[in-house]
Structure 1
């Protein structure tokens, strides 16, 4: 301690000799940068792993508890219904019952249409709104999310499966691959939750998701032109060029005016009710039951007029009964296992992204916490069980969740109510859908996906970040002009490119002193900030790694050369000190240390002293470990930029 105090005193005395009385009052003591205590490699690794994967400390509730209590808490962790179910009452049941019936009226017609998007028979859409919501109700932590098939995932799954197996000529193999993909989608989701790797889905940026969803919405709407126009032969591709070519080639003989009349009439009705629900929140239920009303009315019209005999395509028979077992239909061996895993992993990640975004949105609106890892495990479990009960990938639906929220749901019991209604539909009502025209299903899907096109979000992205807008448009046009998979790949690639660009080319700023303060800020942001004669102050706004260390060194060197040339041209004193503010530098690796060493040696040849200000604990620890502090000099590492400037140029600072 004596040596340390003496060192501090020496540093202070050096500065104090040339300080004015006013400065002595302002700077009574210059603190030395603290060095964190050394940790063993095991403790450091353990700390890093805990911070990365267990930042929320999931084991905290189990500490100092009896075995019975730990067992109960463990069950509540896996099945949150055991926790909130204790406070369940009749008031909540009434709200959940109304919400469940409302979303059931919306989901039944949607499920039949979404199954067609996935190139599956209509009953598989209903199956996927029966078993998965039941599993989620017991394991999920969101109170508002409504579970079932969704348009984007259905289209993605259908297009990727179609690339492997033709659904028209190999129906059985296609269906088996769909169940296999659903199984691996669940495995992927559950694994991310168990391993606490949910941060991986954050690599799909908000901008990329906005573009992807918008492109997928247009692609889905274009795919519905087959049913909407009554076209018999339609392209299996999803890009806009192929679809429009198929539409116009069938214009002379393939369109059916009765089908168009039914589809257009009910589409106007659906859009009107949706707009009515938006303007008057109390009438949200009108938009919610409009699809079911449309199905009932259109089915009656077709049945009474026998429009199916005049070219109007109908659903025909929907298989009656609850979900049959599909355990033996999943591919666990053979060539299709790898294909199922690839398709399932992609579909599972997209489904997870959509469900997470929906869950977080409604959780923030009702001000409660949502455990992301529990959500992933719940979604994974329901898809694993679903794959064994003839379901395809299910996730949270935004339209149904919004209706669920506005209908006054209190808990996930609304999903149980919805499942019960779907059960009754499968057991009793499916024969009544025989005369339902495909046009009405197309109209329902078109009206549902229009809401996925978020123009306001795209405009806001353009205003905030042009690079984000490029990612948004890249995903959008990739989906429209290529395929859903290509659009997704472009979205991920551009998002990664943005991260890499920010890492390899970090922001570096020149700092100046704000008048009548000891605060130093970016001179571009604060034009009134003035430079200190003889001192160049720069700030590195990033960790210094192998990917950017040379850029940081070269950028600082170029600024130094430019500054010296300007000073020389004006006949002003040369630069004697280069101060690097390292406050934002969270970490540094060996390449970064080497870059600082090279910079220090280069500056010494020019008789310029390198000074570091406020290096963080990880940085100062590595600086000491590399012995670079001896090259720079312990006395040239300061707690703040102000301390460094006061010590280096006290007379100049006094004049300011």
Structure 2
């Protein structure tokens, strides 16, 4: 019986093994076709909106998941309390005291009227507050993107010849930048940002900082005629020619005095963490004091250049000024793509740095979608390209912000300033705007990181040097091309 019972068992196992071979062969030979591009895109969109692991489907659950994916405020907003609001309120007011003078200065760097910098500190922060996933990131205009816009758009339309057409192209570029950024997040194309490596960004930022600094000599010295080129050779030559002509030293005296004041305040804040508010209040205090000084002494009658009229009120609608037809459409799309990548790279790098300190993960795709939608909204409300600022984010973090509500507080404070305070900016000297921008530039030059790159990887150092020298002696586009 034992031999009889064992024999069929061996036979059955052999039969099973033999019968399974053709099925395995069929599976190997008849490989299923890979998913089409349409299926990949639909899966990317689903993963970007719906949380992973959600197998059951219903319209209500899908809607709730989609809204939570697009608006992180719906998740953390339920636990928001008065204690968090108190921290955000303090941070937002501190942020506005730094953001208002910086926004006016960066608008001047972008070759736009001062109010456009303030407009950019209103709508984009409000949109980011409900869509962004970083708690500390402070949104507004930044120096590098302002330089990008002015250096590239002015090659299409000269802002001194036709400022209205120049402003229209800036709004169009902002729309394209927002569309590209939102698309990167929606289709999970964040890898495109990785074409600009960390080493390349370090070199690009350092070169841009020196170019921005040399350009601010126009405002610091009160020079009227100045080159539109961004390379350091052209700018140095322009300064050299201007210095040998009649100029008014009062501009240089005012600008340098308050530049030293801002730098001393920043040094004191770094030595004592409890004095973090000095970094934020020093630029605003410089604007107030210098404006009063010029008004009382009537220094504008003696060669001191002032910014004069600043339009107040809420952001006007600029949808009709966006030009989606005409000969410059392709140029606007190209400039928009470059600005989108640079703005995303800076914002995500800053956001991840502070998120790692607080111990939470930053969702890169959600950040891209938030940046995209805020710039799309900004393009139709008289704003230019906005992104996360390192200096303002550091102030926001030091001031004790808890959530993105600090951006809302800052935006409301800027709205109040637009309604009530713009008329008092008439006598603000241009040299003060130059000193505020110059004071923010040392943070863009990271010599210690350059030394680390040299020690770790010589090829990365080569990319860093190529970006730096390309921006410094060529143009912004050449520097970016060398970096890529």
Contact 1:230 1:254 in 2 (8 A): no
In the other structure, the counterpart of 1:574 is none
Q: How far does residue 249 in structure 1 lie from its aligned partner after superposition?
A: 0.8
- Which segment is superposed worse, 331-340 or 312-321? 331-340
Q: Which runs of 4+ in 1 moved over 3 A?
A: 37-50, 52-59
1:64 paired with 2:48, answer: no
* Alignment gaps of 5+ in structure 1: 3-34, 493-656
Residue 266 of structure 2: which of 271, 274, 295 is its match? 274
**Greater Rg by CA:** 1
In the other structure, the counterpart of 2:133 is 141
In the other structure, the counterpart of 1:209 is 201
Higher relative contact order (CA 8 A, sep 6+): 2
Q: How far does residue 46 in structure 1 lie from its aligned partner after superposition?
A: 7.8
Residue 224 of structure 2: which of 220, 228, 232 is its match? 232
Cα separation, partners in 2 of 1:82 and 1:166, compared to 1, 3 Å? same
- Which segment is superposed worse, 67-76 or 280-289? 67-76
Aligned positions of 1:124-163 closer than 5 A: 124-163=116-155
Cα separation, partners in 2 of 1:218 and 1:55, compared to 1, 3 Å? farther
Cα separation, partners in 2 of 1:118 and 1:39, compared to 1, 3 Å? farther
In the other structure, the counterpart of 1:332 is 324
Residue 115 of structure 2: which of 100, 110, 123 is its match? 123
Aligned positions of 1:398-437 closer than 5 A: 398-437=390-429
Higher helix share: 2
Q: Deviations over 1:207-263 (max 9, x none)?
A: 000000000001101110000011111111111111111111111324321111101
Q: How far does residue 311 in structure 1 lie from its aligned partner after superposition?
A: 0.7
Aligned-partner SS, 1:236: coil
Cα separation, partners in 2 of 1:41 and 1:123, compared to 1, 3 Å? farther
In the other structure, the counterpart of 2:469 is 477
In the other structure, the counterpart of 1:356 is 348
Distance, in Å, in 1 between the alignment partners of 2:431 and 2:216 is 8
Cα separation, partners in 2 of 1:64 and 1:270, compared to 1, 3 Å? same
Higher strand share: 1
Cα separation, partners in 2 of 1:161 and 1:46, compared to 1, 3 Å? closer
Distance, in Å, in 1 between the alignment partners of 2:375 and 2:155 is 22
1:170 paired with 2:157, answer: no
Q: How far does residue 63 in structure 1 lie from its aligned partner after superposition?
A: 2.6
In the other structure, the counterpart of 1:193 is 185
Q: How far does residue 340 in structure 1 lie from its aligned partner after superposition?
A: 1.1
Distance, in Å, in 2 between the alignment partners of 1:39 and 1:447 is 67
Distance, in Å, in 1 between the alignment partners of 2:32 and 2:171 is 43
In the other structure, the counterpart of 2:307 is 315
In the other structure, the counterpart of 2:339 is 347
In the other structure, the counterpart of 2:389 is 397
Contact 2:51 2:69 in 1 (8 A): no
Distance, in Å, in 1 between the alignment partners of 2:285 and 2:191 is 42
* Alignment gaps of 5+ in structure 2: 1-9, 11-24
- Which segment is superposed worse, 368-377 or 146-155? 368-377
Distance, in Å, in 2 between the alignment partners of 1:159 and 1:94 is 41
In the other structure, the counterpart of 1:460 is 452
Aligned-partner SS, 1:62: coil
Contact 1:270 1:447 in 2 (8 A): yes
Distance, in Å, in 2 between the alignment partners of 1:39 and 1:182 is 51
Contact 1:231 1:254 in 2 (8 A): no
Q: Deviations over 1:347-372 (max 9, x none)?
A: 11110111111111111111112111
Contact 2:300 2:306 in 1 (8 A): yes
Contact 1:177 1:331 in 2 (8 A): yes
Q: How far does residue 41 in structure 1 lie from its aligned partner after superposition?
A: 4.6
Q: How far does residue 82 in structure 1 lie from its aligned partner after superposition?
A: 1.0
Q: Deviations over 1:499-521 (max 9, x none)?
A: xxxxxxxxxxxxxxxxxxxxxxx
Aligned-partner SS, 2:155: helix
Distance, in Å, in 2 between the alignment partners of 1:101 and 1:163 is 38
TM normalised by structure 2 equals 0.91
Q: How far does residue 294 in structure 1 lie from its aligned partner after superposition?
A: 0.5
Cα separation, partners in 2 of 1:39 and 1:56, compared to 1, 3 Å? farther
In the other structure, the counterpart of 1:386 is 378
